[in-house]
Structure 1
């Protein structure tokens, strides 16, 4: 599956003078929250604030960069161990642990959804008692491991599913090596827009979000467009979570065509253009 011809990057996303040496990608995690709606599965989307250093104004899933403290081995953990996640994302167990913790932490920071419980079999139904801790996590005054320990919570790695791995093109000055996860919306919780990084947040079917993009009502980056397209074929949240996928690292490239910046994927015509 390739990207559509009319998917182009905004002009200000590509520097006029590309860096002589590509920036080192920063490890990051993104979580696609899913719930079953009357018209099929829905995803939680956020429109980033205009003018942000990375992906300003674009519609994305919650996520962000890995904090060095996310690799803390003291985190109470239920589900596949870091060694299993390392195999899925082709990385070290230490990084795999950090990626899973970052996925859960960033989802909580950006949407208020917490994939953790007071035991290995439960998930908190109300995250409002942790509002102060959420802000302390955002400001980095509190590490995720310390938050879980003080709250007596177990991280539910078993609620996550690996989905894909995208790396920002070399031409861009801010680059991320982002691992995408899926997770079902926990019962009783609600996703919100209480974050300085989002101007708006809402639930939409994958097909509806793609139609919004087609109509010019939202901007999508290639990983988001591709993920929505893939999820549009799933008839339910359960089907999406049960999908068996091989996760390979995708490193797109940017080329100039017909006066616009186009993104091409490995194996597509033009990928090796200068």
Structure 2
């Protein structure tokens, strides 16, 4: 019996008991930068998972995300819609950006919505209060990572494009300590200089994203590599232990010595 399932389905019962989660890679185009910039957050060092790491916005899927998924898209696979909703909610909580709505959201509206969300924890109430309708399909599934051990995060990575223009973001000062925009290549350079720390999946995704000079190129790469769960494995080689991912998912780097990899 396989220990995996299609990306729009939960892990099967015989697999390790994992925690569904979502991450959003947010693109923007800047007149000052030749390459698209991505929004990253630096997690508080006190966080249990990946404390101090620079990551993309996101977090675990809550029961309320599933309830809202069943309400707004009953015909779609719940696992996928709930992950998109979790990514939208976590992005608003962590950065102050309201993404994937059917009408533009002003900065003052987003700030007020974030305050309400942090107070109530209910995205559905925020949508009702501001008259917003979500457009979950504005988030394109980019990748899906899930280590095969109990309590690992079963994380769907989505990409979305803000386009051009000024964007107001503000750190939440609880789970995160810093927000910054950088190209994928720039984030890798920062990590190599020791300015930020990144975990193994983030590094692999930044390496993949660094191949593209536009959001459209990213979408073309997704179309060429249908998404399925990536299960990193440990592999003993002559020169030591390595962490390895399978080929065929669009990643230019498939392995890293375990001694140099941070898994959070």
Shorter-chain TM-score above 0.5? yes
TM-superposed CA distance for 1:222, in Å, is: 1.9
Task: Determine which of 68, 73, 86 is the counterpart of 1:102.
Answer: 86
Q: Does 1:155 align with 2:138?
A: no
Question: Which residue of 2 is the match for residue 66 of structure 1?
Answer: 61
Q: Does 1:185 align with 2:162?
A: yes
Partners of 2:115 and 2:70 in 1: CA distance = 20
Instruction: Name the one with the larger strand percent.
Output: 1
TM-superposed CA distance for 1:135, in Å, is: 4.0
SS in 1 for 2:106: coil
SS in 2 for 1:218: coil
Query: Are the aligned partners of 1:27 and 1:66 in contact in 2 as well (CA < 8 Å)?
Result: yes
Q: Does 1:124 align with 2:127?
A: no
* Structure with more contact order per residue of length (Cα contacts < 8 Å, sep ≥ 6): 1
Partners of 2:177 and 2:45 in 1: CA distance = 8
Segments of 5+ residues of structure 2 without an aligned counterpart are: 1-14, 248-253, 257-264
SS in 2 for 1:178: strand
CA RMSD of aligned residues (A): 3.1
Question: Which residue of 1 is the match for residue 185 of structure 2?
Answer: 207
Where do 1:13-32 residues align within 5 Å? 24-32=17-25
Where do 1:206-245 residues align within 5 Å? 206-243=184-221, 244=223, 245=225
SS in 2 for 1:203: strand
Query: Are the aligned partners of 2:243 and 2:255 in contact in 1 as well (CA < 8 Å)?
Result: no
SS in 2 for 1:154: coil
Question: Structure 1, residues 37-95: CA drift from partner, whole Å, max 9, x if none?
Answer: 32211111111111311011111000000010112358885xxx6766xxxxxxxx122
Question: Structure 1, residues 9-33: CA drift from partner, whole Å, max 9, x if none?
Answer: xxxxxxxxxxxxx962110000001
Question: Which residue of 1 is the match for residue 175 of structure 2?
Answer: 197
Q: Does 1:264 align with 2:241?
A: no
Query: Are the aligned partners of 2:25 and 2:160 in contact in 1 as well (CA < 8 Å)?
Result: yes
Partners of 1:83 and 1:115 in 2: CA distance = 22
SS in 2 for 1:155: coil
Aligned length: 232
Question: Which residue of 2 is the match for residue 34 of structure 1?
Answer: 27
Question: Structure 1, residues 89-145: CA drift from partner, whole Å, max 9, x if none?
Answer: xxxx1222211111111111111111244xx3x22132x334354244345x34212
Task: Determine which of 228, 231, 251 is the counterpart of 1:248.
Answer: 228
Segments of 5+ residues of structure 1 without an aligned counterpart are: 1-21, 85-92
Partners of 1:30 and 1:82 in 2: CA distance = 22
SS in 1 for 2:29: strand
Question: Structure 1, residues 130-170: CA drift from partner, whole Å, max 9, x if none?
Answer: 4354244345x342122212211011223211100011352
Structure 1 length-normalised TM = 0.73
